[in-house]
Structure 1
Amino acid sequence: MRKLKYFLLTKSIGLYINFLSYTHPKKATLLAYKLFSNPREGRLSKENLPEILKETEHKTLAFEGQQFHSYTWKGNDHIILLIHGWESNASRWEKMLPYLQKSGSTIVAIDGPAHGLSSGLEFNVPTYAAFIDVAAKKFQPHTIIGHSIGGAASVYYQYKYQNIKLQKMVLLGTPSDLRTLIANYVALLSLNSKMETLLDDYFLQKFQFQLDAFSGKIFGEKLNLKGIIAHDLDDTIVAFGESQKIASGWKNATFIETKGLGHSMHDDVLYNQVIKFLFED
């Protein structure tokens, strides 16, 4: 019954947007983009902060009038920066954190735009990458680990900002192509071809790039640092082939295929592989 209600809701919303695309195309475009970019989960409150984040040193950083939150588990001079995914927050690293802390490293996690304790209503990868850049300048990480769309933001960050101090990067269950994300969204709502064109034009106007150009494969071709790209065959959120696209462009990265982990990628064996890559290579 819940699935049926969700199906009817998404199709009803899509039908309304399709109607607007002919009568009020600008309104239709703004509504479609809002539904695509506004997370509905992942917020935190200071009053009910997860226990894992209460142990940290908190800082509020800023980018162009937006504020975002960072959490630091103090260690030695080796810094690891953690970048969460869609409708999540810094607490998603709780299961991986003990493995990273065994190395003695200082661990820093941030809340993305419109997630956790960070400000805003809209999430997009360019803004997330800008948040990463502010955090990287503040904390000087040697390694970035990103999950899901946080991995995509990490790849785009390194492509755009070219942090020469960054030594390694780890991507977990990461999508490659914005075109694929938009296509999945269009299919979910059954949007018409006119709306597809309107969204294409809107992204070009807002971010100054074509959808097909926003690709982890393309960005990966410009990455010189070492990396791990891990993806699970049973991931039902991000297609397995998306990470393979990134790996085909990023020649200095090792691809790890897992099974049975789903999108979360929580696994002792995988975490030990990551630790070995970070500290024994």
Structure 2
Amino acid sequence: MKLFDKISYFILTKSIGLYINLMGFLFPEKATKLAYRFFTEPRDGKLDATKIPKILSEAHPETVAFGQHQIQTYTWKGNDHRILLVHGWESNAARWERFIGWLKKSGSTIIALDGPAQGLSSGTEFNIPEYARFVDAIMQKFSPTSIIGHSMGGATCIYYQYTYQNPLLEKMVILGAPSEFMIVLNNYKKTLSLNKKVSRLLEKRIMERFNIDPNEFSGKRFVSGLNLKGLIAHDEDDTIVSYNEGKQIAEAWKTAEFISTKGLGHSLHDDQLYQRIYHFLFEAD
């Protein structure tokens, strides 16, 4: 991010935070809704249906009805072995472009979805429990035995298996995923400089919305009881999600292998890493 962009972003976020803080004294309910909205509404990642990325245009598109939502999926058809790809925050299924070429070598059927409020899927709110509901709908439809998630998509995969206990899943790959929800939330509050009153109201809103204490929303806690095979990769130079969070997940997940990389950043796009994931998925047995 260039210096001018950094300054503009700083001014924008602090101005939003100041406005929410002032509202917190006069209209606390409105302030809470606004703080929650900025925390859960992606500002990037949507796709234009008339300008679909090439990698997605090569797949079979299908829209899956789920309650009031429409979940957009993309399938690269292959054999009976199915893999589900789960992207992260402010992204969409096209983020897997480089990796799909590797997965195609196996002959597997590859399925990717657009998360809530991203890509071509419906919705205005992105959060892990809602995303896990999307994932469950797609799991029930396609029955993949392997799942791969990046960033918040990785955290969603962990929460999904902890919550739904899908017996069909055999292997899970987690890339650059956060572990502790409170770290994400505190970073958000710090970015906007939210005061204590608004912060407490926001935490209460999240607890009511998710039916879980934010302090207990922990990836390392969720994986501690998982017995499926896992592969976790995290980069030492990740500036979005701390490297230590990946290590904590790996330490708590007894049946998982940890891959430490350097110089790849948060995206973790790298052919050598893809080769190791390929080996885990198709050759480790």
Q: Normalising by the residue count of structure 2, what TM-score does the alignment of the two structures yield?
A: 0.97
* Residue in structure 2 matched with residue 251 of structure 1 by the alignment: 254
Q: Verify the 8 A CA contact 1:148 1:175 in the aligned structure 2.
A: yes
What SS class does the counterpart of residue 17 from structure 2 fall into?
helix
* Residue in structure 1 matched with residue 277 of structure 2 by the alignment: 274
1:13 and 2:19 correspond: no
In the TM superposition, what is the alpha-carbon distance from 1:247 to its structure 2 partner? 1.4
Q: How many residues align?
A: 281
Task: In structure 1, list runs of 5 or more residues that go unmatched.
Answer: none
What SS class does the counterpart of residue 172 from structure 2 fall into?
strand
Letter in 2 for 1:52: I
Q: Normalising by the residue count of structure 1, what TM-score does the alignment of the two structures yield?
A: 0.98
Displaced runs of 4+ in structure 1, greater than 3 A?
none
Aligned pair partner of 2:151 in 142, 148, 152: 148
Letter in 2 for 1:59: E
In the TM superposition, what is the alpha-carbon distance from 1:63 to its structure 2 partner? 2.3
Counterpart mapping for 1:1-281 below 5 A: 1-281=4-284
What SS class does the counterpart of residue 67 from structure 1 fall into?
strand
Q: Distance in 2 between matches of 1:279 and 1:36?
A: 38
Q: Distance in 2 between matches of 1:44 and 1:12?
A: 28
In the TM superposition, what is the alpha-carbon distance from 1:222 to its structure 2 partner? 2.0
Q: Deviations over 1:245-277 (max 9, x none)?
A: 211221111111000001110011111100111
Q: Verify the 8 A CA contact 1:63 1:130 in the aligned structure 2.
A: no
Letter in 2 for 1:225: L
Task: In structure 2, list runs of 5 or more residues that go unmatched.
Answer: none
In the TM superposition, what is the alpha-carbon distance from 1:217 to its structure 2 partner? 0.7
Q: Distance in 1 between matches of 2:133 and 2:17?
A: 31
Percent of paired sites with the same residue: 56
Q: Distance in 2 between matches of 1:252 and 1:196?
A: 37
What SS class does the counterpart of residue 222 from structure 2 fall into?
helix
RMSD: 0.8
Letter in 1 for 2:52: L
Of stretches 103-112 and 60-69 in structure 1, the one that deviates more from structure 2 is: 60-69
What SS class does the counterpart of residue 44 from structure 1 fall into?
coil
